[in-house]
Amino acid sequence: MTTTTHAITRGPLRHLGPFQVSPIGLGCMNLSHAYGAPPSAEQARALLHQALDEGCTLFDTAALYGFGANESLVGPSLKPFRQRLTLCSKGGMAGVTGADGNTTRVIDGRPEALRRNCEDSLRRLGTDVIDLYYLHRWDKRVPIEDSVGEMARLVAEGKVRALGLSEVSAATLRRAHAVHPIAALQSEYSLWTRNPEIAVLQTCRELGVAFVAFRPGCSPC
């Protein structure tokens, strides 16, 4: 374990797959999505830059957040500092615009959908590669092996450096990890939700998968 410290955490860096990151990362969802009206683009950029200044090196976004708007904000804002940070995004759950012109959230884990999500994310983020790419939610109509298999091909093509999963069980994690090494599992772990303690945390330890907690405070949302 490295002893490097940053002001934002006052603690050692953490291993996240092939990366070393600040113990506290910035979830960027609220800059474009959920929890009331988002801040202005200027305020959002200032917050992202302040996080960098305070030592944060882990930034997390997703195709879903703002139906792409979050990636379009985060990518250009952080592009001048790209080599200083670990950039995470997610696919398999995104906004789809129907014939009526309305955009709704759709979970789609088919290989072709994941590839399309990744290509769209790369374009919006303005980067050649996503450091850590998560399956945002498991589409249970599609075997996890098929979804992760396509994500593994994205790694082989150099579009993604490492793979993650979000909100899956220990059993599903094991199945996915057998297809391609999973670097991280992201799940809610808070005063409100302790479910990862049932089996997920122990499975992460056994497989060498980093556990990334979101909503670490008490939140019923």
| Active-site residue, selected from the candidate residues 65, 133, 134, 189 | 65
Gyration radius of the chain's alpha carbons: 17
d(CA 105, CA 97): 9
d(CA 176, CA 165): 9
Q: Which residues have a Cβ under 8 Å from the Cβ of 18 and sit 6 or more positions away?
A: 161, 162, 183
d(CA 23, CA 59): 12
133 an active-site residue? no
In the structure encoding, which two tokens stand for residue 160, read together? Answer: 């993604």
CA distances from 149 to 29, 143, 177 (A): 27, 10, 10
Active site residues: 65
